[in-house]
Amino acid sequence: SVKDVLKNSASKFEFYMNYPPSYPREVERSLAECNNIDSNKISIGVGASELIDRLIRMINPKQALLLSPCFSEYERCLKNQESQIIYHKLSKKNNFCVETNIYSSIDKLGRGDIFFICTPNNPNGLLVPLDILLGCIELCENKGIYLVIDISFLDFTKSYDINVLEKDMIIDKLIYHDKTLNKLIINTQYTVLLNTFTKLYSIPSLRIGYCFSNNLELIKHLNKYYVPWSISTLAQNIAITICEDKSRTKWIEDTKEVVFMLREQLIKKLSKFPLTIYKSDANFILFRDNSNLDLIEELLKYDISIRDCSNYRELGKNYYRIAVKNKKENKYLLSVLYKLYGEKCG
């Protein structure tokens, strides 16, 4: 359906000769409908990165907590706002998994501060354990700390789902866990769920992200900071198309199954090479090369580009991340690694 819109829009002058809607109300309405939440709980941005920046500028926290390693955009935006950053070091020995010692780091924050947590985490791809995530939500709510949960890669995983309080649903608890659907319903004032169309739907150049929160005042103020006409008509139409596509739910479930199968196959094959592979629940894999190869340079000779992770905190030289691709592309990567490391390694 996305390809059809792109194909049909290419020659229509209204997509490039007219201004887009000043604020994407139709996208907001479609997101509300497909997520079964009220539209006044949604804020839309030019990708998730713009929303990260807008949230930080609006909240203006004195202190912020970040996992280490994590997505670098949080750090960049916080430094621009001159917030003091506390880094919570994740253990390499435990696959960079978030553990209960995160609570002691949260305790260093005060009311009005902010904590960014990504599940699954970037760059290692591991989900935050459900019980620990619940603990973080409750602790931040009680202390008045803004908890931004980045779920940009969550739909790639065969695990829990998260949503803010659903429309017409009344619960007294802060968090309701529907065990049948393995779905988390959050009824808090300090939690923000951050997501994007970029990752799951493979449209990184069509910049459009969104966030959900039960804090209506927070959303209202976020929307005041929205720059009018900043999201193109084409990007808005694509977002609406995705939300209204009746096959979307099944497509997401199929994606989870395929990614799980291909990732596990790829990890199994990669483990035969001189690489330290870190567990992942997402559509990417973090590893450390234990040889003396310049892996970036060598793979580029075969038209393969991988992510150099040396600039992530706690990682450094010889850490790389690869995407889980289709069977043909995964097979090609493995065949090149055989050439680089020698047949005996595989």
Q: What is the DSSP string of 167-193?
A: TT---SSSEEEETTTTEEEE--SSEEE
pLDDT of 202 reads 85
Helices 2-9 and 233-244, packing angle to 10 deg: 150
- Based on C-alpha coordinates, what's the Rg of the chain? 21
pLDDT of 126 reads 96
Residues sharing a CB contact under 8 Å with residue 179, sequence separation 6 or more, in sequence order: none
pLDDT of 286 reads 97
Pairing of strands 275-277, 284-289: antiparallel
pLDDT of 79 reads 97
Helix, strand, coil percent content, the chain, rounded in steps of 5: 40, 20, 40
Beta strands in 22-72 (DSSP E): 42-45, 63-68
Pairing of strands 42-45, 84-89: unpaired
**Phi, psi at 188, each rounded to 5°:** -125, 170
Residue 159 CB-density burial (10 A; 0-12 exposed, 13-18 middle, 19+ buried): middle
If we measure between CA atoms, which residue out of 70, 128, 160, 126 comes closest to residue 263? 126
Q: Is the pTM of this model over 0.85?
A: yes
Q: Is 174 left (phi over 0), alpha (psi -120 to 50) or beta?
A: alpha
Contact at 8 Å (CB) between 222 and 210?
A: no
- Give pLDDT < 50 ranges for the chain: none
